[in-house]
Amino acid sequence: MEIISKEGKELETILTGICEEYNVSNDDFYYHYTENKTGLFGKNSVINVTAILKSDLLEYIKEYLEELLTNMGLTVNFETKLREDVMYVKIYSNNNPVLIGKVGNTLKALENIVRQKVNTEFNIRPYISLDVENYREKQQRRIERLAKNIAREVVKTNMEVHLDNMNAYDRRIVHNILTNFKGVTTESTGEEPNRHVVIKPE
């Protein structure tokens, strides 16, 4: 996997050069940069950019997971896709319950390990979503049904409802599904790990 390193005086010029050299757009790669002041009183500066193509990063994540899970004695296959700046990795294994864990705790821990690995190696924090077969999809549909049912009750009673504590991924599901739901608004409140969604009358 190629790590792209460039330097120059202007960030936009460097990014444009990467786009032209690799025939991509700004949305096709992650980057971070540092600026080093030079010259008398630091009037001049050199900008160093490190970038990685999103397609390369997705492949790196898949290979890292394959090595990690194979060492756990699992046989695995993957489906990957990039959509709306989220990296989705679906895992198929010979022991899905082990990968999912109780109420999805093992899957969440694995997701955190991958995010930390990517941040440590490349100093970036992309949104990574892991799923084991269709566990997350089924969970998402369950949360969406729950949110809609509670929203109907909020409209009917004109009283706000506090949902159970949820992680950021699940809270996002609630906010998204109720964005265009007439008569209610949503907001997240509380501090992690006790942060939750409140569904309120509009």
- Residue 108, pLDDT score: 87
| Total of domains in the chain | 3
pLDDT along the chain (202 residues), means of 10: 90 94 93 80 81 94 94 92 88 92 87 93 89 88 95 95 88 93 94 90 92
pTM of the model: 0.73
Same domain, 120 and 67: yes
Same domain, 100 and 40: no
Q: What is the CATH number of the domain that holds 119?
A: 3.30.300.20
Same domain, 87 and 70: yes
- 3-state SS string for 78-108: EEEEEECCEEEEEEEECCHHHHHCHHHHHHH
- Residue 160, pLDDT score: 95
Same domain, 69 and 117: yes
Instruction: Name the DSSP class of 2.
Output: P
Q: Which residue segment(s) compose the domain that 34 sits in?
A: 4-53
Same domain, 73 and 20: no
Contact 137, 100 (CB under 8 A): no
- Residue 40, pLDDT score: 61
Same domain, 61 and 45: no
Burial of 39 from C-beta contacts in 10 A (0-12 / 13-18 / 19+)? exposed
d(CA 49, CA 61): 22
- Residue 39, pLDDT score: 62
Q: What is the CATH number of the domain that holds 154?
A: 3.30.1370.50
Tokens of 16: 């444009």
- Residue 136, pLDDT score: 84
